[in-house]
Amino acid sequence: MRLSRLERFLCLFTEVRPGEGVNAVLMFANVFLLLCAYYFVKPLREAWLSVTDVMGFSPKELKAYSALIQGLLLLPVVAWYGRLSDRMHRSTLITRATLFCMSNLVLFFLWRPGGPFVAIPGIELAFYVWVSMFGLFVVAQFWTFAADVYTDERGRRLMPMIAIGATGGAAFGSSVVTPMVKGAEFGADVLLLAALAPLAASIVLTRMVDSSEQGQSKKEPSGEGVTPPAARPRGGLAMIATSRFLIAAAAITLLLNWVNTNGENLLYSIIVDFLQSEVAANGLSDPEAIKAFTKDGVAAFYGNFFTWVNAVALVLQALVASRLLKYGGFRVILLMLPVISLMSYAVMALVPVLIVIKMMKIAENSTDYSINNTARNVLWLPTTKEMKFKCKPAIDTIFVRLGDGLAAATVWFGSNVIIFSNQDYFRFNVVLVLIWLSAAIVLVREHRKVTEANAAAGGG
């Protein structure tokens, strides 16, 4: 077989072999649509939270402490999803889970503040929690599907190219938010309905790829060097506790999000403080006008911020990720983010001003969404199907929110026990990044062992 024109074009980004092009493009389009849907509602999430008032907590406190709520809610969700994966085919499971998310968007639109139904107290906080969980879940579900579709060898070649769709979808989704909202009948809330179309299209693409791949033989990697079948627990969390590989993966996920959320909380606090000073400068006194000004200002800032983050991430994903993986290997792409984070927070500790913080966060987040996104998904290629559908969703959701919860505890400690300045928070992040680097080095070693065991079993 010879490469098609499409496959020759895809070779600009990674190595593609005959017969792989069509499904790779479908997977690319699938994750592009999912990230579009998420970035349609993500700025709205921040905007709703900025004008909420729950039990006297400030938006900054609600943003930090809501991670604890998300972590608790994700425990039964992930356990239930793991049980369903034992009984349903993967395309059926993904279809039903996505339809459930779409129904939730419709309900939030109907019960939105100022909507046709009676307002529910705290709906803004509920929406913030739901969107945060939704973004984690649909993306983790897609990459679990991708890791199950591809072998280790094919995944290493094709996943970096497919991941361009994720960064491209995020960049496109965030860039069209402002034009979509201008002149819309429902204002920014129209984004809830706009997210339905890409989610529906994603279901169709998932079923097309699944149907096509079923016609191809794919020998599942055994992963027997990690957890012997006789000793393998049924629950995802129990499985994680029995494997050094899984413990290390969970640890770096927790630490990454602890560090990143500390930085996000500081950035959010600085933005809100800035807008409050602008309220006084503009002479606003009406409570509703102040709420509208703050809501629109936060949405505008994050729309611009996400656009820059995703634009840089798109360049890194398209031109750097696959080459780093091919020539540097898994170790290089896994260690790149903690190294960049270490340098970024050291700079922020020395120069804690808004423009510097914004630039450093763009560097950190764009690397996370591109190079590190490739690393954390390639990580799962040599593992078993059970580990992919039970442990990966658990780590990509629960441990992400546990890291966010620890960031919330950091906010409380720094506000009530030992009063932290912004520089103190940045210095604390430097210490956390050093621990994160150590855990990443352990994971590199364990991943090598899993890959060698998989190759020896003939699953590569």
Domain segments of the chain as ranges: 16-456
Cβ-proximal residues to 227 (8 Å cutoff; 6+ apart), any chain: 239, 242, 243, 384, 387
Is domain 16-456 given the CATH code 3.30.420.40 in the classification?
Answer: no
- In this structure, the number of other CB atoms found within 10 A of the CB of residue 103 comes to 10
Measure the CA–CA gap between 102 and 202, rounded to whole angstroms: 12
Q: For residues 321, 325, 327 and 329, what is the CA-based torsion angle, rounded to 10 degrees?
A: 150
Cβ contacts of residue 64 below 8 Å, gap of 6+?
A: 261, 265, 404, 407, 408, 411, 412
> pTM to 2 decimals?
0.77
CB atoms within 10 A of CB 316: 22
Give the model's pLDDT for residue 134.
93
Per-residue pLDDT, 294: 76
Residue 171 pLDDT: 80
CB within 8 Å of 261: residues ≥ 6 apart: 64, 67, 403, 404, 407
Angle at 435 between CA 244 and CA 270, to 5 degrees: 130
Structure-model confidence comparison of residues 457 and 44, the more confident one: 44
Distance separating alpha carbons of residues 338 and 367, to the nearest angstrom: 10
pLDDT tens for each residue of 84-122? 888 899 999 999 999 999 999 999 988 877 767 766 777
Q: How many CB atoms lie within 10 A of CB 165?
A: 25
Q: Closest by alpha carbon to 48, among 92, 109, 93, 98?
A: 109
Question: What average pLDDT is seen over the chain?
Answer: 85
Q: How far apart are CA 111 and CA 7, in angstroms?
A: 46
Backbone angles phi, psi at 54, to 5 degrees: -125, 115
* Six-digit token string for 123: 């709906």
pLDDT, tens only, 336-364: 999 999 999 999 888 877 788 888 999 99
Kindly report, residue by residue over 309-318, the tens digit of the pLDDT. Answer: 878 988 898 8
Whether the pLDDT of residue 51 is over 70: the answer is: no
The alpha-helical segments, DSSP class H, found in 383-421 are 385-386, 392-394, 400-416
- Over residues 51-77, mean pLDDT: 75
Contacts of 354-359 with C-beta under 8 Å, sequence gap 24+, read 354/270, 354/271, 354/274, 357/263, 357/266, 357/267, 357/270, 358/267, 358/305
Tell me which residue of 295, 433, 268, 434 sits closest to 358, measured CA to CA: 268
* Contact of 347 with 190, CB cutoff 8 Å: no
136-162 pLDDT, tens per residue? 899 999 999 999 999 888 999 999 999
Query: What is residue 221's predicted lDDT score, i.e. its pLDDT?
Result: 41
Over residues 220-241, mean pLDDT: 56
